[in-house]
Chains A and B, each alone.
Chain A
Amino acid sequence: MSDYAVAVLSRIGIESFVALSTYLLLLMGRVSFGQQAFFALGGYGAGIATALYGAPLWLGLLIGTALATAGGSLMGVVLAPASGLTFAVGSLAFAELVRFGLLQLTFQRPVAGELLGPVGAQGFRGIRLVYLGGLGPLGFFTVIAALLAGSFAVFLWFERSPTSAVVRMIGEDRMVAAVVGVPVNRVIHVGLAAAAALAGLGGALFAHWTTYVEPGHAEVMLGVHSLAYPLIGGLGTPVGPLLGVALDIGLLESFRPLEAYRMLVFGGLVITFLIVRPRGVLDEQAVHILVDRLRRLITRRRAHLPP
């Protein structure tokens, strides 16, 4: 595989974590413009662990994810009861608080004769474990793919569990979820923490992939993209957000020849797309039709089998 292909696939893999994170929140009817905060927290946490304290990669990723989860849980204390515009603006405000905090964060220590660590707006350079440790881009892509496959498997299991119906009911009608005995705020709180964990894991991988993370990574554009992924790919299945990332990054990459007009064309396409299919390519209706056809096919095949 060429270096370019590995780079594009690694980026698709990393952003898929943020896409899954936003997907989970959209299922609960929560539009978050703040997932970039957890992405950045994950990056900083993992970077500090591996670059400054020599933690192994797995521990760094775990610490980054845990930090983001704690951030998501903190946001949940305030925003779990909120919905609609209040939640959207609240999540953005929380992300801005995190970004502001990271802008103030200066924490360096000498590592192998070099001062490493976050320096305010300049960010945090030198998170080189992946490259110094001999893993390399292809090896690290394997790590990304394995973690993404694991997360995706968890989502598939979740979609088959009764909890999935609870989460989707909260998204459709919070009051009904409450009258059937669902502790709505608690479920949303857990969902926020889980979504933050996913975004944080993405950020932790990103920091090690690029060797760099900065407060700018907590800016709203990543949040907007992460919302677009599941909305383009579809909210009917966890395949949707992954498809959204592939379409988003794939289209952006293929528009490179358009140079400065690339974002303009891309933005127009996304808007048109969202008007035509407001809940994405693989929305609930499409997934339902596909599953139904598959079920009929299996039933027909079984009926033709000899006893």
Chain B
Amino acid sequence: MRVHANGITVRFGPIEPLVGVDLAIAAGETVGLMGPNGSGKTTLLDVISGLVRLVTGEVTLDSLRATGCAPDAIARLGVGRCFQTPRLGDRMTVLANARLGQQVLSRAARDRDEPLCLLERFGLADLQHRLAGELTPAARRRLEVVRALLGRPRLLLLDEPCSGLAAAETEEALELLEWAARERTLVIVEHRIPVLRRICGRIVVLDRGQIVADGDPEMVLVDRAVVEAYLGRRR
């Protein structure tokens, strides 16, 4: 899925988390979003998901205008979403949470076995009857990705999918993300540079609501504006 965000400005009271952001993502691209805390990364994902109202600007997904569409309508266009802190139905079983991801599909398109297959691939099949609230943080992240993937999204938005994971868990998560990135557009908010280097073909850096760098990971990571965004301006 192609994404075009033109002149995006978002305002929460006196704060403007995004100011005139322009971003174009090609179909099948894996894009990493990085930037200091409060730079507008999550807000940008919220804009694409339809969770935030724009002051100005327009979002188009493929050639469809998504500005002003409700989040459920955007999900039906083929957009999957995972949150910074995994948001699951904690009082529901792992399997019920996974199956929820199929809601976006028509009844005919839902495959009864697919949730279990995907839970198996993500190492959660043995936990299918457990309540989601009983899972470890790493398993919660995996389950959220499973739920998103079961909607067969053409664009997957992931907010810090490796946050809080140990080294071994991160490695596992990266392998799964690489698998998930096939045949779809992936936008990942992430702070860890090795993670971005490994799975992203392009990195976009935000600072104070604006894009300060955009391009190949190796180029972007040595960009002066990026270094200044993280470490501050040299006096």
Contact = CB atoms under 8 A, between A and B. Distances in A.
Interface residues of B, number: 30
Interface in B61-99: 70-72, 75-76, 80-81, 83, 87-93, 96-97, 99
B205 interface: no
A165 B131 contact: no
Contacts of B99: 162, 165
B101 interface: yes
A168 B91 contact: yes
B104 interface: yes
A177 B49 CA distance: 13
Nearest to A279: B91
B72 A165 contact: no
Contacts of A172: 89-92
Contact of A292 (B71, B88, B129): B129
A181 B103 contact: yes
Nearest to A181: B104
Judged by DSSP, the binding face of A is helix
Contact of A165 (B80, B83, B87, B92): B92
B147 interface: yes
Interface in B94-136: 96-97, 99-104, 129, 131
Contact of B103 (A162, A175, A284, A292): A162
A178 B72 CA distance: 5
Contacts of B92: 165, 168-169, 172, 284
A166 B100 contact: yes
Nearest to A173: B87
Contacts of B91: 168, 172, 236, 284-285
B71 A178 contact: yes
Contacts of B148: 180
Interface string B37-70: 0000000000001010000000000000000001
A180 B89 contact: no
B103 A180 contact: yes
B84 to A, nearest CB: 13
Contacts of B49: 179
Contacts of B93: 288
B209 interface: no
A19 to B, nearest CB: 20
Contacts of B71: 175, 178-179
Contact of A184 (B72, B83, B97, B102): B72
B151 interface: yes
Contacts of B96: 165, 168
A178 B101 CA distance: 11
Contacts of B151: 180-181
A183 interface: yes
Interface in A264-307: 284-285, 288, 292, 295
Instruction: Name, among B89, B129, B148, the residue most crowded by chain A CB atoms within 10 Å (CB to CB).
Output: B89
A178 B70 contact: yes
Contact of B89 (A165, A288, A295): A165
Given A165-B92, A168-B92, A169-B100, A178 B75 contact: yes
A265 to B, nearest CB: 31
B144 to A, nearest CB: 9
Contact of A179 (B75, B88, B102): B75
Nearest to A292: B129
Nearest to A295: B129
Nearest to A165: B96
B75 A169 contact: no
Interface centre among A165, A179, A236, A285 (most CB of B within 10 A): A179
A172 B89 CA distance: 6
Contacts of A168: 89, 91-92, 96
5 A-B pairs with the lowest CB-CB distances in the bound complex, closest first: A181-B104, A181-B75, A178-B71, A284-B91, A179-B81
Given A166-B103, A180-B151, A284-B91, 10 more contacts: A162-B100, A168-B89, A169-B92, A176-B83, A178-B70, A178-B71, A179-B71, A180-B103, A181-B76, A284-B131
